[in-house]
Amino acid sequence: MENKPTWYNNVKIASYVCLVLLAIIPTVVLFAVPRTC
C-alpha cells in the first residue's frame, strides 16, 4: 500500500492548488475593484 499511483499525487496537488486559488482570488478582487471604480 506504500506505492501510491501517480494520479493520486496529481489529485492531491490539484486540490492544494484549488485551495490556494480560492484563498488568493477574493483578496485580489477586493484590491482590484476599488481601483477600477
Stretch 3-25: mean pLDDT? 93
pLDDT at 9: 92
pLDDT at 37: 72
pLDDT at 1: 59
Please provide the average confidence, as pLDDT, over all residues in the chain.
89
Stretch 13-37: mean pLDDT? 91
pTM: 0.56
Stretch 4-33: mean pLDDT? 93
Distances (CA, A) of 11 to 2, 14, 28, 34, 36: 17, 5, 25, 36, 36
Enclosing domain of residue 18: 1-37
* Higher pLDDT, residue 1 or 8: 8
Number of domains composing the chain: 1
